[in-house]
Amino acid sequence: MKSTLKKLLPFAVVGVISGATTVGAIQYLGHNSNNGDQSYFRASAPNTSFAGMNTGAVGDDFVKAAKTTVPAVVTIKNYQSRTASRASEQDLFDFFFGDPFGGRGQGQQRQKQQQAPDNMPSGMGSGVIISPDGYIISNNHVVAGANKLEVVLSNKKSYIATLVGTDPNTDISLLKIEEKGLPYLNFANSDNIDVGQWVLAVGNPLGLNSTVTAGIVSAKGRGIGILGGQGKATNPIESFIQTDAAINPGNSGGALVNTNGELIGINSAIQSTTGYYQGYGFAVPSNLARKIVEDIKKFGIVQRGFLGVQSLDLSNDQLVTSYNKQFKTSLKIGSGIYITGFGENSGAEDAGLKKGDIITKVDNYDITDFADLSMSIGSKRPGDKVQVTYSRNGKDGTATVTLRDQKGGTSTRTKADLSVTEKIGAEFDPLTERFKTEYGLNSGVVAKSVSEGSEMAKIGIVDNYIIIEVNGKPVNSQKDVEKILDKYQGNVQVKFVDDYGRIYTKGFKMP
């Protein structure tokens, strides 16, 4: 008997170790609200601690966390129109997860999707219930391009969800289903996590509902260039939690939790040469995710504060080398953010910061690279004040900076405060006479800076498409579009031309 136990012991140890492969991360922003409707968007107590782990306690702690988490994680099915869009949003899933068709090419994949029946989803992901009245957090890329979103609970009950709002810059979305008394997860403070921390990932990978995997936090504050690299995020915030959890296609939008079953991150991406798990997963920290959904719920739009600096990441040796070569400087590779200039209406410049200063800390948050700066500022709102510590000529200094929005404002805005182009998510350039001649048109404007998830994007318009008419009226400038839609309520009709000269007429309800 003893001999048998000795033989089995190594396998038991290996089983325990191999069962530990996941990640999580989340951060509490400190923007508490006294409104009753915000009560479910609270973080756990700031002094929340993670249970100490050992080989004797792992099993029980994982079971308790799994029982808490699984009922609150849902499947999200994304249904899309396959006739209007030139480039399917599934391309974004490919970028996150690789080609799920084994490298047979995006063209064949897109063709296969376009030929699929209308009652089949174009993509599937996960989501997390964060309030008992049906608010669900997920990734932006899980819901992108959808004309219908179906939510399936762990008990197989199905709902059609309303998309409350999205934020491509953080890859976060907020949905709502009409139900009460739902199981939900509380946000934990992602500042409390440590590298090596045990965590669980719960989602629906590869169509396998309610899958739980375990692992550790491999790293914090990772910027992997995935959001801006797609050209969708105009001001991406990347400060991912890296994990070795077994995350696969379908896990996106799912939960990363600590051993208390508290939400510490939203699974977003994997780094892989095959499109499947190879040990590198990334999650949006809960502090950032929580701030985004609170903004969407309260204001209808994300409130984003900016320092107003142009910068160089001194930890990036390639960027530093390129900068030195271009500007004939001799900056040293290290940590911190080197200020190369300022934008218009810069709060940082008004606070006394200068070109050549090196930002080393924001409030009590050490700034070693751009991901740190992105997280520390991106989690704030216009009008917030931050203490910026900087190095100038070898001496440290501090400055109190009032953050501003991109237009220089210092107050929060709602959807009602947005301009027409902000509401519909695109800007417009006049159409040249040459284009009018080539396309046989008498009027038109060229769509520019079309925002992902915007009303214009939803009807299939992308950059460089030509808008001929809005509500039956010819348009030749952005002012024409603004005049037609200013204070307009109701359905909007848009007549446009794609890259191949095909003319479409589609519409949306004015937000």
What is the C-alpha separation between 447 and 458, in angstroms, rounded?
A: 14
Which amino acid is located at 458 in the chain?
Answer: K
Sign of the Cα torsion 136, 141, 116, 426 reads positive
What is the C-alpha separation between 46 and 192, in angstroms, rounded?
A: 8
Given the residues 61, 167, 171, 369, the one annotated as active site? 171
Distances (CA, A) of 243 to 21, 191, 195, 205: 8, 16, 9, 16
What is the C-alpha separation between 92 and 401, in angstroms, rounded?
A: 36
Count CA within 13 A, CB hemisphere, residue 397.
14
Phi, psi for residue 312 in degrees, rounded to 5 = -130, 130
Burial level of 96, CB count in 10 A (0-12/13-18/19+)? buried
Q: Which residues of 282-311 are buried (b: 16+ CB within 10 A; e: fewer)?
A: bbbbbbbbbbbbbbbbbbbbbbbbbbbbeb
Neighbours of 379 (CB within 10 A): 26
Is residue 252 annotated as part of the catalytic site, yes or no? Answer: yes
What is the C-alpha separation between 459 and 61, in angstroms, rounded?
A: 47
What is the C-alpha separation between 289 and 291, in angstroms, rounded?
A: 5
What is the C-alpha separation between 267 and 127, in angstroms, rounded?
A: 9
Helices (H), 77-158: 90-97, 106-114, 140-143
The string of DSSP letters for 148-177 reads: EEEEE-TTS-EEEEEEEEEETTTTEEEEE-
> Three-class SS of residue 400?
strand
From the CA atom positions of the chain, what is the Rg in Å? 24
Identify the residue whose tokens are 């579009």: 481
Output DSSP code: residue 190. G
Given the residues 141, 210, 239, 357, the one annotated as active site? 141
Distances (CA, A) of 472 to 300, 492, 503: 29, 9, 14
What is the C-alpha separation between 109 and 123, in angstroms, rounded?
A: 12
Given the residues 252, 311, 315, 376, the one annotated as active site? 252
**Angle at which helices 106-114 and 90-97 cross, to 10°:** 140
Neighbours of 505 (CB within 10 A): 12
> Which residues carry out catalysis?
141, 171, 252
